C-alpha cells in the first residue's frame, strides 16, 4: 500500500512514489507518494487560511485537541512503535521509549497551552510615560515549517507539532525521506483529534525540494532538526523568517578520579550506543582521569560486550542497524582511518551490512574524524587526562556544544564545569544523552540556534505583542 500525504487536511497522491526500506535487511517496509512543488505551494496557502482559524482557538480547545491526540497516540502505541522499527530500524526498546516520550511531549504541550501568559508593565519610569499602562501578550507566530530528521521521527515531530498546536499556529511538516511513515500516522491522529484540517500538512519529499518553503516569505518560522551542514545552510536562505536549529554534536563525558565508576560505566555504556549511536547527544568522547583510566576501561569493555546486537524487532536487542548501508560504510571507514592513524580498537567486530557491532577506540588524537566530527554510529573513544583543566579544554575543543556529562562528586568541580563547559546543557553524574522533554534543550556553537522543550519552543513559536494604554 502506498500512503497518501496531507495538504491542508486533504489526502493526496502524485506521480512519484518513495519506497521506504527496513534498514535491517533491505526489504521494503512501505511506500509513500511524494509531494510536488505545487503541493508544497498549496500546503503553504492552506496553512495561511488555517492560521486564521487556529489563532482564534481558545486555550481550553487547544488543550482538548492535544489531550485527544494523547489518547489516540496511546491507543495506537503499538502501531507507532512498529512503524518506527520498520522504517528506521529502531530497536524495539528504543522505539517504546521514544513513543513514551512523545506522549509526554504532547501531554506537556496540552498543559502549557493553558499557561501562555503575558506581563503588566509600568511605563512611567520616565516622565514621558506618566499616565500610561503597558501590557504584553504572546501571539502565535503564523505558519511554521517543521523539518525533521530520521533518527527520532515521532518525538522530534511532536516537539514541533505539540507546541504549534498549543499556541494556535498552523504547521507544515517535511518528514525525512528515510522515515516518512510515522509522520503520516501522526497526521491522521492529529486530524482525528480535531485540529482544523487546513492548518496541518505533512509533505514528504527530498530535502532540496523543501527549500522553496524555506525561501517563501509567507512562512513565519523554520523549525529545523537535522545535520549542522543542512541547518546552517537553510538559515542562510531563510530571509526574515524566525529560525530555530537543533543540530548535531560529538558529545563528551569527563570521568574524574572521585567519581562513582560503576555509575559512570553503566551510564556511558548505554549513552554511547543507544539507537545505535544515531543520537545527536550520543556520548562520543570519554575523558577519564589517569588514576582511574585502567579500572574504568576494564569495567567498560564487558559492559559494552554485553550489549545485544541484532534484529531490531527482537525485544532484547540493544543495538540495531544503522539507517543505511551508506551510513554504515561511512562510519566503518572513519574507524579504519583512525586505526591507520594510530588508534587502538579495544572492542569491535565485523560489520554485517547495516549492523555495526559497538566499537571502543583508545589512543585517540583530537583531530581524528572519530573524535572531532559527529560519527552518528555505535562508536566511543576513550582518552586519559592528567588534570581537570585539560579535560575541560578538550571537551570544549569542538565545533559543537549540545550537551556534556561530568562524573564527579566535588561540588567545586561541578560548578566550574557548569561555568566553563560550552554546551546548552550539562549533565552531572550522568551522560549527555539524558533528556526529558520539558527541559530546555539545544546547543551552542555549531550545534544549534534557539531551544526546544515545550515551554521554550512555545516562546520561539510566539511573538510578544505590546499594548500601551494612554490614560491621561
Ligand atoms: P539531515 O540534515 O540529512 O536531514 C534532516 C532533514 O532535513 C530531513 O528531513 C531532510 O530531508 C531535510 N533536508 C535535507 N536537505 C535539505 C534541504 N536542502 N532543504 C530542506 N530540507 C533538507 O539529517 P538526518 O541525517 O536526517 O539526521 C541526523 C542529524 O540530525 C544528525 O546530525 C543529528 O545530530 C541531528 N539531530 C539533532 C537533534 C537535536 O535535537 N539537536 C535531534 C536529532 C537529530
Residue 118 burial (10 A CB sphere; 0-12, 13-18, 19+): middle
> Active site includes 372?
no
pLDDT category of residue 395 using cuts at 50, 70 and 90: very high
Report the C-alpha gap between 8 and 35 in whole angstroms: 12
CA dihedral 322, 324, 326, 332 (to 10 degrees): 10
> Active site includes 329?
no
Q: Distance between terminal CA atoms of the chain?
A: 68
- Per-residue pLDDT, averaged over 157-182, amounts to 98
Residue 284 in grid coordinates: 562520543
pLDDT given for residue 194 in this prediction: 98
Asked whether the beta carbons of 427 and 283 are under 8 A apart, the reply is no
In Å, how far are 22, 67, 118, 200, 463 from 5, measured between CA atoms?
A: 20, 24, 37, 11, 30
User: Whose CA is closest to 280, among 161, 159, 172?
Assistant: 159
pLDDT tens per residue, range 33-79: 999 999 999 999 999 999 999 999 999 999 999 999 999 999 999 99
pLDDT tens per residue, range 3-21: 999 999 999 999 999 999 9
Residues 6+ apart with CB under 8 A from 467: 134, 135, 136, 137
pLDDT given for residue 305 in this prediction: 97
User: To test ligand 1's pocket by mutation, which of 154, 226, 248, 451 has the most ligand atoms within 8 angstroms of CB?
Assistant: 226
- The region that residue 310 occupies, defined by phi over 0 for left and psi between -120 and 50 for alpha, beta otherwise, is left
pLDDT tens per residue, range 250-282: 999 999 999 999 999 999 999 999 999 999 999
pLDDT given for residue 362 in this prediction: 98
User: Whose CA is closest to 404, among 435, 425, 387?
Assistant: 425
CATH of 2-247+447-470, one of 3.90.640.10, 3.40.50.720, 3.40.1380.20, 3.40.605.10: 3.40.605.10
Q: Which atom of ligand 1 is nearest to the CA of 206?
A: 11
pLDDT tens per residue, range 426-437: 999 999 999 999
Neighbours of 463 (CB within 10 A): 15
User: Whose CA is closest to 278, among 255, 315, 254, 248?
Assistant: 248
Residues with CB under 6 A from ligand 1: 147-152, 156, 174, 176-177, 207-208, 210-211, 225-227, 230, 234, 246-248, 280, 374, 376, 402, 448
pLDDT given for residue 171 in this prediction: 98
Q: Which atom of ligand 1 is nearest to the CA of 452?
A: 40
Asked whether the beta carbons of 7 and 174 are under 8 A apart, the reply is no
- The class of domain 252-436 in CATH terms is alpha beta
Give me the residue spans of the domains in the chain: 2-247+447-470, 252-436
pLDDT category of residue 412 using cuts at 50, 70 and 90: very high
pLDDT tens per residue, range 196-245: 999 999 999 999 999 999 999 999 999 999 999 999 999 999 999 999 99
Neighbours of 382 (CB within 10 A): 24
pLDDT given for residue 389 in this prediction: 98
Mean pLDDT (the chain, rounded):
98
The pTM of the full predicted model, rounded to 2 decimals, is 0.98
pLDDT category of residue 387 using cuts at 50, 70 and 90: very high
Annotated active-site residue in 280, 332, 459, 460: 280
Task: Match 556553537 to its residue by C-alpha cell.
Answer: 445
Annotated active-site residue in 246, 374, 459, 460: 246
Amino acid at each position: 500500500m502506498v500512503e497518501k500525504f496531507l495538504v491542508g487536511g486533504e489526502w493526496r497522491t502524485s506521480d512519484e512514489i518513495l519506497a521506504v526500506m527496513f534498514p535491517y535487511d533491505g526489504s521494503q517496509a512501505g511506500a509513500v507518494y511524494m509531494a510536488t512543488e505545487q503541493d508544497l505551494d498549496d500546503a503553504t496557502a492552506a496553512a495561511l487560511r488555517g492560521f486564521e482559524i487556529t489563532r482564534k482557538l481558545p486555550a481550553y480547545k487547544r488543550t482538548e485537541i492535544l489531550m485527544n491526540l494523547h489518547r489516540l497516540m496511546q491507543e495506537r502505541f503499538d502501531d507507532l512503535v512498529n512503524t518506527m522499527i520498520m522504517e528506521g530500524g529502531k530497536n524495539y526498546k528504543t522505539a517504546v521509549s521514544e513513543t513514551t516520550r512523545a506522549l509526554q511531549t504532547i501531554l506537556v504541550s496540552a498543559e502549557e497551552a493553558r499557561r501562555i501568559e503575558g506581563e503588566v508593565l509600568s511605563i512611567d519610569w520616565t516622565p514621558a510615560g506618566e499616565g500610561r499602562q503597558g501590557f504584553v501578550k504572546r501571539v502565535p507566530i503564523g505558519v511554521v515549517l517543521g523539518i525533521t530528521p530520521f533518527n527520532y521521527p515521532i518525538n522530534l515531530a511532536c516537539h514541533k507539532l505539540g507546541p504549534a498546536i498549543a499556541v494556535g499556529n498552523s504547521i507544515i511538516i517535511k518528514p525525512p525521506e528515510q522515515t516518512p511513515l510515522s509522520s503520516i500516522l501522526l497526521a491522521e491522529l492529529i486530524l482525528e483529534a480535531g485540529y482544523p484540517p487546513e492548518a496541518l500538512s505533512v509533505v514528504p519529499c527530498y530535502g532540496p525540494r523543501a527549500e522553496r518553503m524555506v525561501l517563501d516569505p509567507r512562512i513565519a518560522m523554520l523549525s529545523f532538526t537535522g545535520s549542522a551542514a543542512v541547518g546552517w545552510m537553510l538559515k542562510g536562505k531563510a530571509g526574515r523568517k524566525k529560525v530555530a536549529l537543533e543540530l548535531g554534536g560529538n558529545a563528551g563525558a569527563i570521568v574524574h578520579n572521585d567519581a562513582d565508576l560503576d555509575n559512570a560505566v553503566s551510564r556511558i555504556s548505554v549513552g554511547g550506543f543507544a539507537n545505535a549511536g544515531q543520537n545527536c547527544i550520543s556520548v562520543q568522547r570519554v575523558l577519564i582521569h589517569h588514576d582511574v583510566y585502567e579500572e574504568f576501561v576494564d569495567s567498560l569493555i564487558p559492559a559494552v560486550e554485553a550489549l545485544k546486537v541484532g534484529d531490531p524487532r527482537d525485544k532484547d536487542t540493544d543495538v540495531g542497524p544503522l539507517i543505511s548501508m551508506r551510513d554504515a560504510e561511512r562510519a566503518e571507514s572513519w574507524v579504519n582511518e583512525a586505526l591507520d592513524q594510530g588508534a587502538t580498537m579495544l572492542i569491535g567486530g565485523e560489520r554485517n551490512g547495516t549492523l555495526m557491532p559497538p566499537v571502543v577506540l583508545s589512543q585517540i588524537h583530537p583531530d581524528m574524524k572519530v573524535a572531532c566530527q559527529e560519527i552518528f554510529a555505535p562508536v566511543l573513544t576513550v582518552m586519559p587526562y592528567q588534570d581537570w583543566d585539560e579535560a575541560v579544554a578538550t571537551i570544549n575543543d569542538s565545533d559543537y556544544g549540545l550537551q556534556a556529562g561530568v562524573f564527579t562528586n566535588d561540588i567545586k568541580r561541578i560548578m566550574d564545569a557548569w561555568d566553563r563547559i560550552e554546551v546548552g546543557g550539562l549533565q552531572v553524574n550522568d551522560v549527555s544523552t539524558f533528556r526529558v522533554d520539558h527541559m530546555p534543550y539545544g546547543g551552542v556553537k555549531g550545534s544549534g540556534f534557539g531551544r526546544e522543550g515545550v515551554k521554550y519552543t512555545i516562546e520561539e513559536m510566539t511573538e510578544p505583542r505590546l499594548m500601551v494604554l494612554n490614560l491621561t
